A and B are shown apart, each in its own frame.
Chain A
Amino acid sequence: MRTVFRWFVSHILPPLTAFLVVVMVWHFATVIFAIERFILPGPLLVVKSAVKYTDELWSGFLITGLEAFVGFLLSLSVGILVACLFSQSRLIRHSLFPYAIFLQTVPIVAIAPLIVIWFGTGFQSVVLVSFIISLFPIITNATAGLLQVDPDLLDLFSLNNATRWQTLTKLRLPSAVPSIITGARIASGVAVIGAIVGEFFAGYVSRKGLGYLILQTAPQLKTDKLFATVFASTLLGLLIFTLVSLIGNAILKRWYDGES
């Protein structure tokens, strides 16, 4: 009980206070300067709008969440596979790494229209955008982890005549788990951004995700609803990030401490 209280005081109270202060300043700023509601709606208006559009926001939350989640899982699995390939030889790494960097540097807004031309609008294209932009952090972190193995352990494996496959599965991959988790944590946030940006280009009327809602709401000058949607997107990002972090920490604990 005491520890829960102390944890609350040290971890929850400070950001909560900061949040409340910002909301107060925001509220009084809109009142004192009489800012037009289509330019900056006050926090109360945003809450009211969130309540009014709860159904629409909730379904958008689920749709975008699913897209981001599938995109993230794809980049996690493909990223680890690519990293395993990279870890096998310097030649492979040097030949292919420049194209991995391409993933990081290509402006997604520039290739999103291409994706729509090739794959049409809809779920698959949004997932693809989310996948493309969240792949890079997994590849780089996993590759670094697979290569940073204790040289004595590599010697131990070769002294035991270990095969390449055994060295990969019993030494390199387990050693890389902490790095892969770091990569996954970064990628999880990026995957949500990818899903929302993806919906800007490849969103679909039949199933409106949060990105699609943002795009639809902005020109209508329903700024309060726009704010509510943005907050929903932020919450989604936070949720996925927290989930991945919790799972990651649980795995790390199992990896290094106590009885499994």
Chain B
Amino acid sequence: MAISTETAFIHADQVGLSFSGAPDVLSGVNFKIPRGQFVSILGASGCGKSSLLRVMSGLQTATAGLMLLDGRSPGNARENNLRSAFVFQDPTLLPWRTVRSNVSLPFELRDRPESEYTNNVKETIELVGLTDADAGKRPRELSGGMRMRASLARALVTNPDLMLMDEPFSPLDDILRQQLNEEILRIWADQKWTAVFVTHNVSEAVFLSQRILVMHPRPGRIAADIEVPFDYPRTADLRATAEFAELMGTISHELRRTVE
């Protein structure tokens, strides 16, 4: 899959990240992601995959090389209305606010008038599978899965161009994780944002993505760039196919090589 620089929505060019007195976190990371692609970054814990996501979001600046979003630095892109949303590993909700008011936060911080976003907030909360009654509750009253749905709603409500997700489903049990995987694909198919999904779960990465970047630790770098050939829409049945199992095997093997 040859992609020219012009069409690359995200372009990492020899990206490195290091802090004084510590070994490099990232070194020589190269990839290009076209607009609308669903990409997973797969790696063992501590391989720098979350740091790479933070560099893409602009929360951290690369200390070497260049990270470009739509041709600009991530910080610059964010301040110039490139809508990127970040989903944290924990739901990261404000405990004193209801779900509805948590989901409204991105608009509040942009000083938008309430009338402009109430409908959007309501629809997005429904989209992630929460009821109107849930919307009036505080995070403490919700289950872990519902909190994560609220966190997704807060990211989706801004109608993002780019969704950066940092192991969002890893604290959830397997069944719930699979359900949310299916739902996130349904929403992606509809909205077509570019997705960068960080995970250490091979099955999750294969099920979700069009492409998987396997990371090698110490320092973090891309060890393999693997295309996932399955057609969308993908359903739960896909997980039971021989092709799915075979690809999982190949990728698990790649992943094992990075830690041995």
Most buried by B among A152, A160, A255, A260: A160
B194 at the interface (CB under 8 A from A): no
Picked from B95, B106, B136, the residue with its CB within 8 Å of the CB of A256 is: B95
Q: Are B110 and A161 in contact (CB under 8 A)?
A: yes
Residues of B within 8 A of A150 (CB): 92
Picked from B78, B94, B96, B138, the residue with its CB within 8 Å of the CB of A159 is: B78
Please list the 9 inter-chain residue pairs (A to B) with the smallest Cβ-Cβ separation, ordered nearest first: A160-B109, A152-B92, A255-B96, A162-B109, A152-B88, A174-B96, A160-B106, A159-B86, A155-B59
Q: Are A256 and B110 in contact (CB under 8 A)?
A: no
B90 at the interface (CB under 8 A from A): yes
Inter-chain CA distance A166–B108, complex, in Å, is: 9
Closest-by-CB residue of A relative to B90 is A152
Q: Are A161 and B109 in contact (CB under 8 A)?
A: yes
B140 at the interface (CB under 8 A from A): yes
- Shortest A143–chain B CB gap in Å is 20
Q: Are A159 and B57 in contact (CB under 8 A)?
A: yes
Residues of A within 8 A of B84 (CB): 159
Q: By the criterion of a CB under 8 Å from any partner CB, how many residues of chain A are at the interface?
A: 22
Q: Are B136 and A159 in contact (CB under 8 A)?
A: no
A158 at the interface (CB under 8 A from B): yes
26 contacts between A and B (CB under 8 A): A150-B92, A152-B88, A152-B90, A152-B92, A153-B94, A155-B86, A156-B86, A156-B92, A156-B105, A157-B109, A159-B57, A159-B78, A159-B85, A160-B106, A160-B110, A161-B109, A161-B110, A170-B94, A170-B105, A170-B108, A170-B109, A177-B96, A256-B138, A256-B140, A259-B98, A259-B136
Q: Are A166 and B96 in contact (CB under 8 A)?
A: no
Q: Which of A42-87 contact B (CB under 8 A)?
A: none
Beyond A155-B86, A161-B78, A259-B137, 12 additional pairs, beta carbon < 8 A: A152-B92, A153-B92, A157-B109, A161-B110, A162-B109, A170-B94, A171-B94, A174-B94, A256-B95, A257-B140, A258-B137, A259-B136
Q: By the criterion of a CB under 8 Å from any partner CB, how many residues of chain B are at the interface?
A: 25
Inter-chain CA distance A256–B138, complex, in Å, is: 7
Residues of B within 8 A of A260 (CB): 98
Residues of A within 8 A of B138 (CB): 256-258
Residues of A within 8 A of B140 (CB): 256-257
- Shortest A179–chain B CB gap in Å is 14
Q: Which of A234-260 contact B (CB under 8 A)?
A: 255-260
Residues of A within 8 A of B136 (CB): 259
B174 at the interface (CB under 8 A from A): no
Residues of A within 8 A of B94 (CB): 153, 170-171, 174
Residues of A within 8 A of B141 (CB): 257-258
Residues of A within 8 A of B231 (CB): none
C-beta contact mask, A134-166 vs B, less than 8 Å → 1, else 0? 000000000000000010110111111110001
- Shortest B95–chain A CB gap in Å is 6
